[in-house]
A and B are shown apart, each in its own frame.
Chain A
Amino acid sequence: MSEKIDQAQVKKVAMLSRLDLTDSEVAEFTTQLSAILEYVEKMNTLDTENVQPLAHCLPITNCFRDDVVKESLGTEKVLANAPQRDEEFFKVPKILDDNSGA
């Protein structure tokens, strides 16, 4: 059976998602994902010539809130679930190649 996705692609997606998969998991997910893609491919048989791409599954737009301050959790509660903290900060493994930031 021709696979919709191969093991190399699954490994790449896993790497992009920071997932560490064993070889047997890669094989298992390749089969599962291929089945899913095959199923979804049925959509391609429909004529979508005059159909606008769907931006959202609900037929609603413009849901806003007013720009009014609400109480935040506060530092202690925010850090309560953190595996590690350093004073008022989350403590995380050293970021080596920091390209963070928006």
Chain B
Amino acid sequence: MSVSVTFTVNRIPRTVDLDDPRVTLLDLLRERLDLTGTKKGCDRGQCGACTILLDGRRVNACLALAISHDGADIQTVEGLSAGGALHPVQVAFINHDAFQCGFCTPGQIMSAIGLIEEGQAGDDPERIREGMSGNICRCGAYRGITEAVVEAASVMNATRQEDAA
């Protein structure tokens, strides 16, 4: 028996006939929607490589069952620069060499965007380090990641203030 579920993925409505209730959001994205930017590092919520924004919140896509999230809004790394221009977090990651192998990077970037939007960390490096600690980088690009998030946070906050003005 298949169940029809609908998501908005990177602003595009997608309807999927799910023939299997065991499919996680991560495997749905990677194996059924051809969105392989989101990575599987551990499949049990310990590494953060699969971090996506689910209704605006950071979640580990490997721990979410697709069938439980009918109607959800999903943002993945592929949707960040859909208009052509890179997102400020993406730009900052490149400039600060905030990655090496790149495998954890989509998760780091989604986590960074989530953290900045949450408004919890501001541009305080210590709180950013804490707030980014759900995303493991085995290459050890943490210094660049922290610097990138600090910079992107100030760029995004400045843009937000301009928009508000």
Specify whether A and B are partners. no
Instruction: List A residues at the B interface (Cβ < 8 Å).
Output: none
Instruction: List B residues at the A interface (Cβ < 8 Å).
Output: none
